[in-house]
Amino acid sequence: MSSLSLRALSKSYGPVHAVRDMNLDVKEGEFLSLLGPSGCGKTTTLQMVAGFVPPTTGSIVVDGHELTSIAPEKRDMGVVFQSYALFPHMSVAQNIGFGLEMRRVERGELKRRVEEALAMVRLAGLEGRYPSELSGGQRQRVAIARALAIRPRVLLLDEPMSNLDAKLRGEMHVELRSLQRRLGITAILVTHDQVEAMTMSDRIAVMTNGGIAQLGTPQEVYDRPTSEFASRFLGHTNVLSGRVEKRAGDEATVKVGPVSFRTKLAKDQIGPEIAVFIRPERLRLGSPDEATLRGHVGTRLFLGGSWIYEIETELGSLRITQQNIGALQPEEGEPVGVSWNADDLRIIATEGSHG
Protein backbone atom coordinates (compact mmCIF):
# COMPACT_ATOMS: atom_id res chain seq x y z
CA MET A 1 0.00 0.00 0.00
CA SER A 2 1.15 3.52 -0.75
CA SER A 3 0.17 7.07 0.01
CA LEU A 4 0.10 9.77 -2.65
CA SER A 5 0.41 13.55 -2.30
CA LEU A 6 -0.08 16.24 -4.93
CA ARG A 7 1.32 19.64 -4.06
CA ALA A 8 0.44 22.81 -5.99
CA LEU A 9 0.05 20.65 -9.11
CA SER A 10 -0.82 22.61 -12.25
CA LYS A 11 -0.93 22.06 -15.99
CA SER A 12 -1.28 24.79 -18.58
CA TYR A 13 -1.47 24.62 -22.35
CA GLY A 14 -0.61 28.16 -23.31
CA PRO A 15 -3.39 30.36 -21.91
CA VAL A 16 -5.56 27.34 -21.02
CA HIS A 17 -5.26 26.12 -17.41
CA ALA A 18 -6.27 22.45 -17.39
CA VAL A 19 -5.36 21.92 -13.71
CA ARG A 20 -4.93 24.76 -11.23
CA ASP A 21 -2.75 24.55 -8.13
CA MET A 22 -4.12 21.22 -6.91
CA ASN A 23 -3.33 19.94 -3.42
CA LEU A 24 -4.53 16.44 -2.59
CA ASP A 25 -3.56 13.65 -0.20
CA VAL A 26 -4.63 10.07 -0.95
CA LYS A 27 -4.28 7.69 1.99
CA GLU A 28 -2.79 4.22 1.91
CA GLY A 29 -5.36 1.71 0.69
CA GLU A 30 -7.89 4.41 -0.17
CA PHE A 31 -10.15 4.37 -3.21
CA LEU A 32 -10.50 7.97 -4.36
CA SER A 33 -12.49 9.18 -7.36
CA LEU A 34 -11.89 12.30 -9.40
CA LEU A 35 -15.43 13.14 -10.50
CA GLY A 36 -16.50 15.91 -12.81
CA PRO A 37 -17.73 16.91 -16.26
CA SER A 38 -15.63 16.83 -19.43
CA GLY A 39 -12.88 19.44 -19.37
CA CYS A 40 -12.71 19.77 -15.58
CA GLY A 41 -9.10 18.53 -15.39
CA LYS A 42 -9.61 15.05 -13.93
CA THR A 43 -7.97 13.08 -16.76
CA THR A 44 -5.06 15.54 -16.99
CA THR A 45 -4.50 15.07 -13.26
CA LEU A 46 -4.40 11.29 -13.64
CA GLN A 47 -2.04 11.54 -16.61
CA MET A 48 0.35 13.71 -14.58
CA VAL A 49 0.29 11.18 -11.73
CA ALA A 50 1.01 8.36 -14.22
CA GLY A 51 3.84 10.36 -15.78
CA PHE A 52 2.30 10.62 -19.25
CA VAL A 53 1.94 14.41 -19.00
CA PRO A 54 4.58 16.63 -17.34
CA PRO A 55 3.16 19.17 -14.88
CA THR A 56 3.73 22.86 -15.45
CA THR A 57 4.30 23.37 -11.72
CA GLY A 58 4.01 21.34 -8.54
CA SER A 59 5.07 17.93 -7.29
CA ILE A 60 3.89 14.32 -7.08
CA VAL A 61 5.03 12.37 -4.03
CA VAL A 62 4.47 8.67 -3.28
CA ASP A 63 5.50 7.31 0.12
CA GLY A 64 7.67 10.37 0.64
CA HIS A 65 9.51 9.96 -2.67
CA GLU A 66 9.35 12.69 -5.30
CA LEU A 67 8.20 11.21 -8.64
CA THR A 68 7.55 14.35 -10.68
CA SER A 69 10.60 13.87 -12.92
CA ILE A 70 10.57 10.04 -12.93
CA ALA A 71 9.69 8.22 -16.19
CA PRO A 72 6.26 6.51 -16.27
CA GLU A 73 7.70 2.97 -16.44
CA LYS A 74 9.71 3.60 -13.27
CA ARG A 75 6.83 4.85 -11.13
CA ASP A 76 5.42 1.38 -10.33
CA MET A 77 1.88 2.45 -11.15
CA GLY A 78 -0.71 0.24 -12.79
CA VAL A 79 -2.95 1.97 -15.32
CA VAL A 80 -6.27 0.72 -16.73
CA PHE A 81 -7.35 2.72 -19.76
CA GLN A 82 -10.83 3.42 -21.08
CA SER A 83 -10.04 1.39 -24.22
CA TYR A 84 -8.31 -1.38 -22.16
CA ALA A 85 -5.35 -1.13 -24.64
CA LEU A 86 -4.96 -4.92 -24.95
CA PHE A 87 -2.65 -6.32 -27.62
CA PRO A 88 -4.90 -8.19 -30.09
CA HIS A 89 -2.12 -10.54 -31.25
CA MET A 90 -1.32 -11.66 -27.69
CA SER A 91 -3.17 -14.20 -25.59
CA VAL A 92 -4.70 -13.31 -22.24
CA ALA A 93 -1.64 -14.67 -20.43
CA GLN A 94 0.73 -12.78 -22.70
CA ASN A 95 -1.17 -9.52 -22.21
CA ILE A 96 -1.09 -9.91 -18.44
CA GLY A 97 2.58 -10.83 -18.44
CA PHE A 98 3.67 -8.02 -20.77
CA GLY A 99 4.55 -5.56 -18.00
CA LEU A 100 6.45 -8.26 -16.15
CA GLU A 101 8.46 -9.09 -19.26
CA MET A 102 9.37 -5.42 -19.66
CA ARG A 103 10.64 -5.53 -16.08
CA ARG A 104 12.63 -8.67 -16.91
CA VAL A 105 10.94 -10.78 -14.26
CA GLU A 106 12.32 -14.34 -14.19
CA ARG A 107 10.24 -16.80 -16.25
CA GLY A 108 9.03 -18.95 -13.36
CA GLU A 109 8.07 -15.93 -11.27
CA LEU A 110 6.33 -14.37 -14.28
CA LYS A 111 4.22 -17.49 -14.81
CA ARG A 112 3.29 -17.60 -11.13
CA ARG A 113 2.25 -13.95 -11.03
CA VAL A 114 0.21 -14.26 -14.22
CA GLU A 115 -1.66 -17.22 -12.70
CA GLU A 116 -2.16 -15.24 -9.50
CA ALA A 117 -3.55 -12.26 -11.44
CA LEU A 118 -5.87 -14.53 -13.46
CA ALA A 119 -7.26 -15.98 -10.24
CA MET A 120 -7.77 -12.48 -8.78
CA VAL A 121 -10.06 -11.47 -11.62
CA ARG A 122 -11.69 -14.91 -12.02
CA LEU A 123 -10.29 -15.66 -15.49
CA ALA A 124 -8.40 -18.87 -14.73
CA GLY A 125 -8.76 -21.23 -17.70
CA LEU A 126 -8.98 -18.42 -20.26
CA GLU A 127 -5.26 -17.66 -20.42
CA GLY A 128 -4.95 -19.05 -23.97
CA ARG A 129 -7.72 -16.96 -25.49
CA TYR A 130 -7.23 -13.75 -27.46
CA PRO A 131 -9.00 -10.42 -26.79
CA SER A 132 -11.32 -10.91 -29.78
CA GLU A 133 -12.61 -14.10 -28.15
CA LEU A 134 -13.59 -12.35 -24.92
CA SER A 135 -16.64 -10.39 -23.79
CA GLY A 136 -16.36 -6.73 -22.83
CA GLY A 137 -16.34 -7.59 -19.15
CA GLN A 138 -13.64 -10.23 -19.64
CA ARG A 139 -11.44 -7.80 -21.60
CA GLN A 140 -11.79 -5.31 -18.79
CA ARG A 141 -10.70 -7.94 -16.27
CA VAL A 142 -7.64 -8.74 -18.38
CA ALA A 143 -6.71 -5.04 -18.35
CA ILE A 144 -7.12 -4.94 -14.56
CA ALA A 145 -5.12 -8.16 -14.14
CA ARG A 146 -2.30 -6.75 -16.29
CA ALA A 147 -2.18 -3.63 -14.11
CA LEU A 148 -2.18 -5.67 -10.89
CA ALA A 149 0.38 -8.23 -12.02
CA ILE A 150 3.24 -5.73 -11.66
CA ARG A 151 2.17 -5.16 -8.02
CA PRO A 152 1.86 -1.41 -8.44
CA ARG A 153 2.18 1.18 -5.72
CA VAL A 154 -0.97 2.88 -6.98
CA LEU A 155 -3.72 1.67 -9.34
CA LEU A 156 -4.92 4.36 -11.77
CA LEU A 157 -8.28 3.84 -13.50
CA ASP A 158 -9.20 6.08 -16.43
CA GLU A 159 -12.97 5.61 -16.97
CA PRO A 160 -12.42 1.84 -17.33
CA MET A 161 -16.12 0.92 -17.40
CA SER A 162 -17.46 3.47 -19.87
CA ASN A 163 -17.60 0.89 -22.69
CA LEU A 164 -19.71 -1.62 -20.74
CA ASP A 165 -23.50 -1.83 -20.77
CA ALA A 166 -25.36 -0.62 -17.68
CA LYS A 167 -25.95 -4.05 -16.09
CA LEU A 168 -22.36 -5.24 -16.55
CA ARG A 169 -21.03 -1.89 -15.39
CA GLY A 170 -22.96 -2.25 -12.15
CA GLU A 171 -21.58 -5.75 -11.61
CA MET A 172 -18.04 -4.58 -12.27
CA HIS A 173 -18.41 -1.76 -9.73
CA VAL A 174 -18.94 -4.37 -7.04
CA GLU A 175 -16.21 -6.71 -8.31
CA LEU A 176 -13.51 -4.07 -8.68
CA ARG A 177 -14.30 -2.47 -5.34
CA SER A 178 -14.21 -5.87 -3.63
CA LEU A 179 -10.87 -6.69 -5.27
CA GLN A 180 -9.36 -3.34 -4.30
CA ARG A 181 -10.40 -3.81 -0.68
CA ARG A 182 -9.09 -7.37 -0.58
CA LEU A 183 -5.69 -6.32 -1.93
CA GLY A 184 -5.58 -3.11 0.10
CA ILE A 185 -4.20 -1.24 -2.89
CA THR A 186 -4.39 2.55 -3.23
CA ALA A 187 -6.58 3.43 -6.22
CA ILE A 188 -7.58 6.59 -8.09
CA LEU A 189 -10.54 6.49 -10.46
CA VAL A 190 -11.35 9.12 -13.07
CA THR A 191 -15.04 9.17 -13.96
CA HIS A 192 -17.92 11.43 -14.98
CA ASP A 193 -20.39 8.78 -13.75
CA GLN A 194 -21.81 9.85 -10.40
CA VAL A 195 -23.19 6.39 -9.57
CA GLU A 196 -19.79 4.86 -10.26
CA ALA A 197 -18.04 7.32 -7.95
CA MET A 198 -20.66 6.96 -5.21
CA THR A 199 -20.61 3.17 -5.37
CA MET A 200 -16.87 2.59 -5.32
CA SER A 201 -15.18 5.44 -3.47
CA ASP A 202 -13.98 6.04 0.05
CA ARG A 203 -13.78 9.71 -0.89
CA ILE A 204 -14.74 11.77 -3.93
CA ALA A 205 -12.97 14.86 -5.25
CA VAL A 206 -15.62 16.79 -7.18
CA MET A 207 -13.75 18.78 -9.84
CA THR A 208 -14.59 21.84 -11.91
CA ASN A 209 -12.48 24.35 -13.82
CA GLY A 210 -9.23 22.55 -13.07
CA GLY A 211 -9.68 22.43 -9.30
CA ILE A 212 -11.45 20.57 -6.50
CA ALA A 213 -14.85 22.04 -5.64
CA GLN A 214 -15.39 19.61 -2.75
CA LEU A 215 -13.61 16.64 -1.21
CA GLY A 216 -15.34 14.18 1.09
CA THR A 217 -17.03 10.82 1.50
CA PRO A 218 -19.82 10.00 -0.97
CA GLN A 219 -22.44 10.77 1.67
CA GLU A 220 -20.77 14.06 2.64
CA VAL A 221 -20.58 15.43 -0.89
CA TYR A 222 -24.13 14.29 -1.66
CA ASP A 223 -25.91 15.25 1.56
CA ARG A 224 -23.81 18.28 2.52
CA PRO A 225 -22.57 19.98 -0.66
CA THR A 226 -20.54 23.11 0.02
CA SER A 227 -21.06 24.81 -3.34
CA GLU A 228 -23.78 25.33 -5.90
CA PHE A 229 -21.76 23.33 -8.44
CA ALA A 230 -21.49 20.28 -6.17
CA SER A 231 -25.20 20.48 -5.36
CA ARG A 232 -26.21 20.59 -9.00
CA PHE A 233 -23.68 18.12 -10.37
CA LEU A 234 -24.24 15.28 -7.90
CA GLY A 235 -27.60 13.74 -8.68
CA HIS A 236 -30.80 15.73 -9.12
CA THR A 237 -31.63 18.53 -6.73
CA ASN A 238 -34.40 21.07 -6.39
CA VAL A 239 -33.11 24.65 -6.34
CA LEU A 240 -35.16 27.52 -4.92
CA SER A 241 -34.24 31.18 -4.55
CA GLY A 242 -34.78 32.82 -1.19
CA ARG A 243 -33.78 35.53 1.25
CA VAL A 244 -32.55 35.68 4.82
CA GLU A 245 -35.09 37.71 6.79
CA LYS A 246 -33.68 37.56 10.32
CA ARG A 247 -30.48 36.20 11.71
CA ALA A 248 -29.24 35.39 15.22
CA GLY A 249 -25.84 33.72 15.37
CA ASP A 250 -25.79 30.69 13.08
CA GLU A 251 -29.59 30.48 12.91
CA ALA A 252 -31.85 32.47 10.63
CA THR A 253 -35.37 32.85 9.36
CA VAL A 254 -35.38 32.17 5.64
CA LYS A 255 -38.21 33.05 3.26
CA VAL A 256 -38.74 31.20 -0.03
CA GLY A 257 -41.81 32.48 -1.83
CA PRO A 258 -44.66 32.45 0.70
CA VAL A 259 -42.89 29.94 2.96
CA SER A 260 -40.77 30.97 5.95
CA PHE A 261 -38.74 28.58 8.08
CA ARG A 262 -35.92 28.50 10.62
CA THR A 263 -32.61 26.97 9.61
CA LYS A 264 -28.86 27.15 10.16
CA LEU A 265 -26.52 29.14 7.93
CA ALA A 266 -22.78 28.82 7.49
CA LYS A 267 -20.69 31.73 8.77
CA ASP A 268 -19.93 33.00 5.27
CA GLN A 269 -23.59 33.13 4.30
CA ILE A 270 -24.19 36.64 5.58
CA GLY A 271 -25.70 38.13 2.42
CA PRO A 272 -29.48 38.20 2.08
CA GLU A 273 -29.77 36.32 -1.23
CA ILE A 274 -29.55 32.54 -0.92
CA ALA A 275 -30.17 29.37 -2.90
CA VAL A 276 -32.04 26.57 -1.14
CA PHE A 277 -31.26 23.01 -2.24
CA ILE A 278 -33.20 19.89 -1.36
CA ARG A 279 -32.90 16.39 -2.80
CA PRO A 280 -36.04 14.80 -4.37
CA GLU A 281 -36.00 11.88 -1.92
CA ARG A 282 -36.11 14.30 1.05
CA LEU A 283 -39.45 15.81 0.03
CA ARG A 284 -42.68 14.12 1.16
CA LEU A 285 -46.11 13.97 -0.47
CA GLY A 286 -49.23 14.18 1.63
CA SER A 287 -52.57 15.88 2.09
CA PRO A 288 -52.75 19.50 0.87
CA ASP A 289 -54.27 20.53 4.21
CA GLU A 290 -51.43 19.11 6.32
CA ALA A 291 -48.37 20.20 4.34
CA THR A 292 -45.93 23.09 4.17
CA LEU A 293 -46.66 23.72 0.51
CA ARG A 294 -49.61 22.97 -1.77
CA GLY A 295 -49.47 21.88 -5.39
CA HIS A 296 -50.70 19.33 -7.90
CA VAL A 297 -49.11 16.40 -9.71
CA GLY A 298 -47.83 17.53 -13.11
CA THR A 299 -46.05 14.34 -14.20
CA ARG A 300 -45.77 10.88 -12.66
CA LEU A 301 -43.19 8.29 -13.75
CA PHE A 302 -42.88 4.70 -12.55
CA LEU A 303 -39.37 3.18 -12.35
CA GLY A 304 -40.16 -0.14 -10.68
CA GLY A 305 -38.47 0.44 -7.34
CA SER A 306 -39.55 4.06 -7.11
CA TRP A 307 -41.88 6.78 -8.38
CA ILE A 308 -40.77 10.15 -9.73
CA TYR A 309 -43.15 13.10 -9.48
CA GLU A 310 -42.99 16.61 -10.87
CA ILE A 311 -45.17 18.67 -8.54
CA GLU A 312 -46.34 22.08 -9.71
CA THR A 313 -46.35 24.57 -6.82
CA GLU A 314 -46.32 28.34 -6.36
CA LEU A 315 -42.55 28.01 -5.84
CA GLY A 316 -42.21 26.33 -9.23
CA SER A 317 -41.86 22.69 -10.26
CA LEU A 318 -40.43 20.35 -7.60
CA ARG A 319 -39.18 16.84 -8.28
CA ILE A 320 -40.02 14.24 -5.65
CA THR A 321 -38.82 10.64 -5.52
CA GLN A 322 -40.74 8.09 -3.46
CA GLN A 323 -40.00 4.42 -2.89
CA ASN A 324 -42.45 1.94 -4.33
CA ILE A 325 -43.89 0.22 -1.28
CA GLY A 326 -47.03 -0.92 -3.06
CA ALA A 327 -49.19 1.90 -1.71
CA LEU A 328 -51.74 3.79 -3.79
CA GLN A 329 -50.10 6.82 -5.45
CA PRO A 330 -51.64 10.19 -6.42
CA GLU A 331 -52.61 10.56 -10.07
CA GLU A 332 -51.52 13.28 -12.50
CA GLY A 333 -53.55 16.43 -11.89
CA GLU A 334 -54.41 15.46 -8.30
CA PRO A 335 -53.86 18.10 -5.56
CA VAL A 336 -51.12 17.19 -3.06
CA GLY A 337 -49.15 18.71 -0.23
CA VAL A 338 -45.36 18.87 -0.02
CA SER A 339 -43.46 18.75 3.26
CA TRP A 340 -39.83 18.51 4.37
CA ASN A 341 -37.61 18.59 7.42
CA ALA A 342 -35.59 21.78 7.88
CA ASP A 343 -32.42 19.70 8.39
CA ASP A 344 -32.78 18.32 4.86
CA LEU A 345 -32.43 21.77 3.30
CA ARG A 346 -29.02 22.96 2.19
CA ILE A 347 -28.57 26.72 2.18
CA ILE A 348 -25.83 28.25 0.03
CA ALA A 349 -25.22 31.94 -0.53
CA THR A 350 -25.70 33.05 -4.12
CA GLU A 351 -22.81 34.66 -5.97
CA GLY A 352 -22.28 38.22 -4.85
CA SER A 353 -24.27 37.87 -1.62
CA HIS A 354 -21.26 37.44 0.70
CA GLY A 355 -20.36 40.34 2.88
Of 234, 212, 208, 232, the residue nearest 221 (C-alpha): 234
The burial class, CB within 10 Å (0-12 / 13-18 / 19+), for 75 is buried
Is CATH 3.40.50.720 what the domain over 284-339 is classified as, yes or no?
no
**Amino acid present at 241:** S
pLDDT tens-digit readout, 143-155: 888 888 888 889 9
Confidence category of residue 317, pLDDT binned at 50, 70, 90: very high
pLDDT tens-digit readout, 219-245: 999 988 888 888 888 888 998 888 888
Instruction: Report domain extents, the chain.
Output: 4-230, 236-276+348-355, 284-339
Is CATH 3.40.50.300 what the domain over 4-230 is classified as, yes or no?
yes
Position 270 scores a pLDDT of 55
- Residue 311 parent element (H or E): strand 306-313
| 290-to-285, 286, 307, 337 alpha-carbon distances in Å | 10, 7, 21, 7
What is the C-alpha separation between 203 and 31, in angstroms, rounded? 7
Average pLDDT of the chain, as a whole number: 88
pLDDT tens-digit readout, 91-134: 999 999 988 888 888 889 998 999 888 888 888 888 899 999 98
What is the C-alpha separation between 100 and 149, in angstroms, rounded? 7
Whether 4-230 and 284-339 share one fold: the answer is no
Confidence category of residue 353, pLDDT binned at 50, 70, 90: very low
Confidence category of residue 263, pLDDT binned at 50, 70, 90: confident
> Could you tell me the pTM of the whole model?
0.85
pLDDT tens-digit readout, 177-223: 888 898 899 999 999 989 899 999 999 999 999 999 999 999 999 98
Position 355 scores a pLDDT of 41
Of 28, 2, 10, 49, the residue nearest 158 (C-alpha): 49
Residues 6+ positions from 113 with CB-CB distance below 8 Å:
97, 100, 105, 149, 151
Position 191 scores a pLDDT of 93
Whole-number percent of the chain with pLDDT over 70: 96
pLDDT value at 267 more than 70? no
In degrees and rounded to multiples of 5, residue 209 shows phi and psi of 50, 40
Residues 6+ positions from 16 with CB-CB distance below 8 Å:
none
- Beta strands per DSSP E along 163-248: 186-191, 203-208, 211-216, 238-248
pLDDT tens-digit readout, 19-36: 999 999 999 999 999 999
